[in-house]
Chains A and B, each alone.
Chain A
């Protein structure tokens, strides 16, 4: 589904990603772990198409398409979804209206008619339940006045509504208490299928108790330095990031 080859990216002339290679197949969950400053958020930003980042080398192929040639909205329409680490508040734009517009623009891209109002409402109700999001929150302005946990839940709610092929969860666990974490992870697990894939980007192992990865990658200094089964996350948790630094001889 996703194939990243020798990806180099920089911001303001400073190189952050220094040759990332990653293969993600449908049905898989990949975790990318790494210390602060290793390039985790840069990777998610580059995948989503943030224009501040310059890709200097390498390629990203998503379901046969060159992702780097697509505008952010077209990436979304092709099925890439980024759950933001810091979701923005957009006062005056209602969640529901925003999702309806998003959904219909994605459908138009695929040559589909706009969704019937009653089908949209039915989906809205169903997915709200999935992430235990209060109906009142869904009707409010996007993230306005939401708590940290509510914002993250809203990200997963949007993901549920838009049904992406590839979901990238960027530090979705940061700032979440254990109950919110369970709800968010539960939502992600329920959305999992053999046709979609998930990349979980996180600093801590905690989230991986709930969203169990097939592969764990360790990102360090802009490169994936080690990949392994889910136990790698536990090892990392036990030994700390220093062991990686020693191992790669940094």
Chain B
């Protein structure tokens, strides 16, 4: 039996994990079984897979992984990770909501509901939206998360509610041996409502490899305004695959910002479906890579209805032997006339050994649209460096200033001042 386990493939091991855990997991078992089947059909993507060409997921999942090798975080450890003073805090510890440290009680502003996802099963909107837009056949990690999800948070913003304080979700990984974590979250913002959600991804005191396969589904109903952030600061042992699946309805405005500041391997799958007219979507991203880091941003903007605007800006600074990938797909469906869709990806490559893969993909089936994309990769501008040095700045501080300037185009899109300052400080430290 032991010998048998050792020769099992990663896929088989994950399926075995599911079999032993399935009766303890929340929700409808049939959804999970369908998902597992979808996972089993798709398998772990290897480097021949078009969608995962530049990130070796087989390597990430190599070795032993368990579902339950978790540390218990102390109050101090959690307190240290809270960087927004004025926020409603939700702590997802190793893929499961920590009720003790999360603000889920009656102290919440009117119209805001936060609960453990496993306590939301009977909510109407859970049933309406859970596992609906994140299709299990579209990606093996969506399937895996849907099959294995142990917990997460459910957030509901009622019709017309305006939540002033940002909701800060801390996804913290801390494991006592190699583990796979599948946090599963659903956020629904009802008609005319408005909210800001900040998701932080980090590892704390983790000496072993953790693979977070985190999935958040967000629904922005008619006329809602949502400001969404992902701040990724995993440590060396932290591997992260973060899927954000967004469904936007008529006249909604959704802005999302992804800041990848560290982590051995980070893969972001950001999918936005514009399912209504007069929708506005903003996608901003900044990634700073060094060492042997691998950062891969995949975005999909799916224009399904007419008269919508989407605007995407991703920027990266690549150092050492690290590698960064940007793959931006834009679909403009046949019905989506009068679409405006723009995309831009700019990179600065600071070393000879770094790699950038950038791939814009536009598929346009409507004939009256405005779409454009642009991509650039280069070194820091020698003329600018010289100009600054000619005023007395050292070469190092000239470069630092220019990198800040490059990043600021994305950082300036952050509307929460406290968060913007936090990111700026992190970037400054990084460029020291």
**Which residues does A use to contact B, with CB under 8 Å?**
48-51, 71-73, 75-77, 81-82, 84, 87-88, 90-93, 97-99, 101-103, 105-106, 109, 141, 158, 162
The answer to whether A49 and B401 touch (CB under 8 A), given A88-B384, A92-B406, A92-B409, is no
Q: Is the CB of A101 within 8 A of B405?
A: no
Q: Which residues of A contact B389 (CB under 8 A)?
A: 49, 71-73, 76
Residue-wise interface mask of B (404-420) relative to A, using a CB-CB cutoff of 8 A (1 in contact, 0 not) = 11111100000000000
**Does any Cβ of A come within 8 Å of B386's Cβ?**
yes
Residue-wise interface mask of B (338-371) relative to A, using a CB-CB cutoff of 8 A (1 in contact, 0 not) = 0000000000000000000000000000000000
Q: How far is the CA of A106 from the CA of B395 in the complex (A)?
A: 13
Closest to A50 in B: B386
Closest to A104 in B: B392
27 residue pairs of the A-B complex, CB under 8 angstroms, read: A48-B390, A49-B389, A49-B390, A51-B386, A71-B389, A71-B395, A73-B393, A73-B398, A75-B390, A84-B387, A88-B384, A88-B387, A90-B387, A90-B388, A90-B402, A92-B404, A92-B406, A92-B408, A93-B401, A93-B404, A98-B388, A98-B391, A101-B393, A102-B391, A102-B393, A105-B394, A162-B391
Leading 8 A-B pairs by shortest Cβ distance:
A92-B405, A76-B392, A72-B389, A102-B391, A92-B408, A106-B392, A73-B389, A102-B392
**Does any Cβ of A come within 8 Å of B383's Cβ?**
yes
Closest to B409 in A: A92
Selected from B381, B391, B397, B404, the residue in CB contact (under 8 A) with A158 is B391
Most chain B CB within 10 A, of A81, A91, A162, is at A91
| A contact face: mostly helix, strand, loop, or mixed | helix
Question: How far in angstroms is the closest Cβ of chain A from B403?
Answer: 10
Q: Is the CB of B387 within 8 A of A77?
A: no
Q: Which residues of B contact A101 (CB under 8 A)?
A: 393, 397, 401
Q: Which residues of A contact B407 (CB under 8 A)?
A: 92
The answer to whether A90 and B394 touch (CB under 8 A), given A72-B386, A76-B389, is no
Question: How far in angstroms is the closest Cβ of chain B from A210?
Answer: 24
Question: How far in angstroms is the closest Cβ of chain B from A51?
Answer: 8
**Which residues does B use to contact A, with CB under 8 Å?**
381, 383-384, 386-395, 397-398, 401-402, 404-409
The answer to whether A98 and B401 touch (CB under 8 A), given A92-B406, A92-B409, is yes
Q: Is the CB of A88 within 8 A of B392?
A: no
Q: Which residues of B contact A92 (CB under 8 A)?
A: 404-409
Q: Which residues of A contact B381 (CB under 8 A)?
A: 88
Q: Which residues of A contact B406 (CB under 8 A)?
A: 92
Question: How far in angstroms is the closest Cβ of chain A from B136?
Answer: 42
Q: How far is the CA of A155 from the CA of B381 in the complex (A)?
A: 20
Given contacts A48-B390, A93-B405, 11 further A-B contacts (CB under 8 A): A72-B386, A73-B395, A81-B391, A84-B387, A92-B404, A92-B409, A93-B401, A101-B393, A102-B388, A102-B392, A102-B393
Q: How far is the CA of A162 from the CA of B391 in the complex (A)?
A: 8
Most chain B CB within 10 A, of A49, A71, A76, A103, is at A76
Q: Which residues of B contact A73 (CB under 8 A)?
A: 389-390, 392-395, 398
Q: Is the CB of B392 within 8 A of A90?
A: no
Closest to B394 in A: A73
Q: How far is the CA of A141 from the CA of B384 in the complex (A)?
A: 13
Q: How far is the CA of A81 from the CA of B386 in the complex (A)?
A: 13
Closest to B408 in A: A92
Closest to B403 in A: A92
Q: Is the CB of A72 within 8 A of B390?
A: yes
The answer to whether A90 and B384 touch (CB under 8 A), given A105-B394, A158-B391, is yes
Q: Is the CB of B405 within 8 A of A91?
A: yes
Q: Which residues of B contact A75 (CB under 8 A)?
A: 390
The answer to whether A77 and B392 touch (CB under 8 A), given A72-B386, A105-B397, is yes
The answer to whether A93 and B397 touch (CB under 8 A), given A88-B387, A158-B391, is no
Most chain A CB within 10 A, of B384, B404, B405, B406, is at B405
Selected from A51, A87, A97, A106, the residue in CB contact (under 8 A) with B387 is A87
Q: How far is the CA of A141 from the CA of B405 in the complex (A)?
A: 9
Q: How far is the CA of A163 from the CA of B292 in the complex (A)?
A: 45
Q: How far is the CA of A99 from the CA of B397 in the complex (A)?
A: 12
Q: Which residues of A contact B397 (CB under 8 A)?
A: 101, 105
